[in-house]
Amino acid sequence: MSNIRKTSLENQHWYFKAAGENGWKSATVPGCVHTDLLEHGMIPDPFVGKNELDLQWIDKQDWEYQTTLSFSSDWLQEERIELTFEGLDTYASVYVNGEKVLQADNMFRSWKVDVKSHLKVGENQLLVYFQSPIHHDIGKPDQLGYNLPADNDHSEDGGVGKKKLSVFARKAPYHYGWDWGPRFVTSGIWKGVYIEAWSGAKLMDVHMQQQAVSFEKAEITAAIEIEATKETEIKLVISDQHVLNISKLCKLTKGFQVIKVPILIKNPQLWWSNGLGKPYLYCFQVDLKLNEQIQSTRVVKTGLRSLRLVREDDRNGQSFYFELNGVPVFAKGANHIPNDSFQTRTTKESYEHEIATAAASNMNMLRVWGGGIYEYDIFYELCDEYGMLVWQDFMFACSMYPGDLAFIHNVKQEAIDNVKRLRNYACIALWCGNNEMDAAWSEFEEEAGWGWKQRYNGSQREEIWKGYDEVFHHLLPSVVEEYDLNTDYWPSSPMKELSYNKDQHATFDTVEKGDIHYWDVWHGLKPIEAYKEKVGRFMSEYGFQSFPEKKTVFTYAKEGDLALESDVMLHHQKNGAGNRLIKNYMEMYYKEPKDFSSFLHLSHILQADAIKSAVEAHRLNMPYCMGTLYWQLNDCWPVASWSSMDYYGRWKALQYVIKDRFKTTALIVDQNEDSLSLYAVSDQLQDQEAQLLLHVYDLNGQLMHQETSDVFVKQNTSNTIYESDIKSLGVVGKTNNVVLFAQLTVDGKVIDSVEHVMVKPKDLLWRDPKIQLSYVDGGIELESQSFAMNVWLEVDKEGCFEDNNFSLIPGIKKYIAFTDSVNGNIHFTKTQDITDVKVVSMYDLIVQ
């Protein structure tokens, strides 16, 4: 038991009000003013209809939060009494008994202050005054002399004209709007707050530095930060859940010091990413003892692993992949954004649902995108537990930022705080400086980029780039090097390399080195087939939109709003061309949807087919390509977006396709004009002797062609296992009436199977599949009379089917299990009994 007194202030009676007004109302801490106003019925639901636009007054107002604290004389006898805010959003003045003790100006930093001299026995008042972030920053563009580029800042919606204020506040950029999110510029105590009282010595931080980790041994240094109020002798005891027990006597000097203790663990259990092995976690405990009494304790839960970004020249250019415990890992995953516009509403259960979804979808990496937040600890704890690698951006995205000394100093402290907070998590694979800023500005190639440079004169351009260079090429890498030496740093995503010439900047044509954000499909209007033509070494962003399902749409729209161009539907589509693009792409590949409900569903199918094409192109090019992270996994509100899982955690068709196409061993069909190839892509660490079954059916289920062959699937790479010209399959002139069925088995067990049609869906000879559904023990069974495509199961119960958005070939029955995914524990080993399942397929959605 620690001798340090600690009291959380989260469960105190907090109150809030608008500054200058009377009438305190109860508040929730952690929280924000928007959610407190909503709780009291003082504003309508911000996500419904166009309410967003009517709530922009909130960020123009100053707000106050207060609570009362009681202390005994015992507390006040301690040498230090420290008040800690883990997160203040954003411009906040903190007062204790009327005296100002702290001024905060960065949402991403933690703030600690000794308040002993300001406290008294009995009741004490704690007040936090939040200045409007808009009023605080409104004059900064004029002071600078120009607007900095920040095209996702919805300043007009916020009533500030063309002034882009997001870049001046060290605050979540997405709060100011994005092309998938609303503009809610929040204020509040958004993370934990507590008071600690102590004397003598206290553990401040423990970093388990993993110097060398292998199957034989783990060489670790425990770097232990200690604060002492005076010279004293202490004992440090380090233990784990196994046999580790190390004691070290230390003489402390007054003030701050770091004590390093070497640790050797023989034959360690290693941490592996999802699909490669168990993500084993060690629980290290460090006790600081005074006179044999535990004074202070720190617990670090982490996985032991070696992890590095490998960028080595090869015959194709330069590699870009992550190596875990000596194994090259093909990164399969998605980009993560905040789970709510009001992030304090995100529960542990919703985080677990997200990470469990990623794991159940066979992912092994998530990218925490730079326009959101450095996530709460629970996010990284779950990533550690589920074996989910994390590409971690610093919080800069799609903008250029100030370069003055005060801003840079603020960013430095932010970086130190977050690198130190996150460095012990086994999941952290990479620190990345920013999202898309190098490519957008393209300093070294005049005609490249997003046209930003051309908005400024020569001296302005020089000033903007100087600030960029200082932060992303000097400051941030130096912080990572000092505080997390074993984790790699990448200046910007996407980027080819840090070369200080035109070879630095990534474009859609960059394929030979670095990482790529490929958006020519979607923003560039290229057909979906273009995904096959532009495959780089690491595809860190690409995406395709869909609407949420009808159940979700009805949370923000009424029946009368269900039209593509209605005000509400357009408001819940933040990408200006989004609705038109969905419609245009839909017309390229599918027959006309019967009605708006069918349009919503068909948008899911379109999105799933598009991203499936991309994922398969990336995986079959392994090991040239070693990563595919689509945009995006989740939503921050109910909206038409690129997400595979909507705001309420409901899986879209894409989530099921990802689960299937990210299998450890996957069959991929690649069809060209006159030929067809099959690939077996394996992330397994063992070779496999397998059998390939190939059948071609007409759409009524009549077998037209069959082949079987023994194939060899080489470990951890892409294998070509079948090649044929289409003539040899006997389908010339009949491609609109056939489906290819391929199945891969190992020792009689089906590893993967795929159905493949040889023409666009709109060109198939459609027939009513007449799907039959029967309820069997623990699940459902389906079969059809003719080929059924994009079969979709719905039930009036929250949960997930084992498979969905699948095809049915006549004569081949399919069994499906269901899970209610309680608390995010998505698994299909124990099925849930369900009734009243609705079944639709492509045939039911389109005009015949």
Supply the pLDDT for residue 822: 41
CA 50 to CA 44: how far, in whole Å? Answer: 10
At 407-453, the pLDDT tens digits run 999 999 999 999 999 999 999 999 999 999 999 999 999 999 999 99
* Neighbour count for residue 71 (Cβ, 10 Å): 18
Q: Name the one residue in this structure whose structure tokens are 């770097």.
A: 223
Question: Within this chain, do residues 484 and 537 fall inside the same structural domain, yes or no?
Answer: yes
State yes or no: cis peptide before 623, omega within 30 of 0: yes
Supply the pLDDT for residue 829: 46
Q: Is 54 exposed, middle or buried (0-12, 13-18, 19+ CB in 10 A)?
A: exposed
Question: Within this chain, do residues 427 and 446 fall inside the same structural domain, yes or no?
Answer: yes
Question: Within this chain, do residues 728 and 778 fall inside the same structural domain, yes or no?
Answer: no
- CA angle 302-304-308, nearest 5°? 110
Question: Within this chain, do residues 697 and 813 fall inside the same structural domain, yes or no?
Answer: no
Question: Within this chain, do residues 109 and 173 fall inside the same structural domain, yes or no?
Answer: yes
Question: Within this chain, do residues 25 and 174 fall inside the same structural domain, yes or no?
Answer: yes
Question: Could you tell me the CATH number of the domain that includes residue 814?
Answer: 2.60.40.10
Task: Return the bridge partners of 40, or none.
Answer: none
- Of 713, 747, 765, the one marking the end of a domain is 765
Question: Could you tell me the CATH number of the domain that includes residue 25?
Answer: 2.60.120.260
Question: Within this chain, do residues 343 and 470 fall inside the same structural domain, yes or no?
Answer: yes
At 309-334, the pLDDT tens digits run 999 999 999 999 999 999 999 999 99
At 775-827, the pLDDT tens digits run 887 678 999 999 999 999 998 877 788 899 999 999 999 999 887 764 445 55
Residue 271 lies in a domain: yes
At 230-240, the pLDDT tens digits run 999 999 999 99
- Of 600, 632, 661, the one marking the end of a domain is 661
Structure tokens at 118: 């300001």
CA dihedral 760, 762, 768, 772 (to 10 degrees): 50
Question: Within this chain, do residues 48 and 116 fall inside the same structural domain, yes or no?
Answer: yes
Residue 580 lies in a domain: no
Question: Within this chain, do residues 807 and 830 fall inside the same structural domain, yes or no?
Answer: yes
* Neighbour count for residue 407 (Cβ, 10 Å): 17
Residue 260 lies in a domain: yes
Question: Within this chain, do residues 20 and 117 fall inside the same structural domain, yes or no?
Answer: yes
Rg (Cα) of the chain, in Å, rounded?
Answer: 28
380-402 residues labelled b (16+ CB within 10 A) or e (exposed): bbbbbbbbbbbbbbbbbbbbbbb
Please check whether residue 177 is in contact with residue 153, taking contact to mean a CB–CB distance below 8 angstroms. Answer: yes
> To the nearest whole number, what is the mean pLDDT of the chain?
95
Question: Could you tell me the CATH number of the domain that includes residue 519?
Answer: 3.20.20.80
Please check whether residue 178 is in contact with residue 184, taking contact to mean a CB–CB distance below 8 angstroms. Answer: no
Residue 101 lies in a domain: yes
* 3-state secondary structure at position 655: helix
- 149-158: average pLDDT: 96
Domain hosting 206: range is 200-302
CA dihedral 666, 667, 672, 676 (to 10 degrees): 160
Supply the pLDDT for residue 2: 64
State the pTM of this model: 0.97
Phi, psi of 603 (to 5 degrees): -65, -35
Q: For 391-432, where are the alpha helices, taking DSSP H only?
A: 405-422
Please check whether residue 159 is in contact with residue 131, taking contact to mean a CB–CB distance below 8 angstroms. Answer: no
Longest Cα–Cα distance in the chain: 92
For the chain, the domain total comes to 5
Residue 43 lies in a domain: yes
At 9-55, the pLDDT tens digits run 998 899 999 999 999 999 999 999 999 999 999 999 999 999 999 99
Question: Within this chain, do residues 699 and 814 fall inside the same structural domain, yes or no?
Answer: no
Supply the pLDDT for residue 824: 45
Supply the pLDDT for residue 834: 73
Q: Name the one residue in this structure whose structure tokens are 């949807």.
A: 593
CA dihedral 100, 165, 392, 88 (to 10 degrees): 20
CA 587 to CA 584: how far, in whole Å? Answer: 5
Order of all β-strands in the sheet with 245-252:
245-252, 232-239, 282-290, 293-302
* Neighbour count for residue 709 (Cβ, 10 Å): 11
At 696-716, the pLDDT tens digits run 999 999 999 999 999 999 999
Residue 87 lies in a domain: yes
Residue 605 lies in a domain: no
- Of 661, 689, 722, the one marking the end of a domain is 661
CA 231 to CA 254: how far, in whole Å? Answer: 5
Question: Within this chain, do residues 672 and 750 fall inside the same structural domain, yes or no?
Answer: yes
Phi, psi of 577 (to 5 degrees): -95, 5
Residue 614 lies in a domain: no
Supply the pLDDT for residue 16: 98
